[in-house]
Amino acid sequence: MVCMNSNKNDYNRVKVRQAEEAAVIIGKKLRKMKQFLVFVRI
């Protein structure tokens, strides 16, 4: 049971890390889009 719980925690930690990385990537893409839109507007 203890092993199961620790594995579950590790799994959740990995999922959180993946979600954070995805959020960072999406944030960078949105920033590039905004810069591109501003450039196009000018």
Q: Which pLDDT does position 9 carry in this prediction? A: 83
1-42, pLDDT tens digit by residue?
A: 455 566 788 888 999 999 999 999 999 999 998 888 888 776
Question: What are the structural domain ranges in the chain?
Answer: 1-42
The pLDDT value recorded for residue 8 is 81
Cα separations (Å) of 5 from 10, 13, 17, 27, 37? 9, 12, 18, 33, 47
3-state secondary structure of 9: helix
Q: For residue 6, what are its two tokens? A: 């620790």
pTM, 2 dp: 0.56
| Residue 42, SS3 per DSSP | coil
* pLDDT for res 3: 59
Collapsing DSSP states into helix, strand and coil, what is residue 1?
Answer: coil
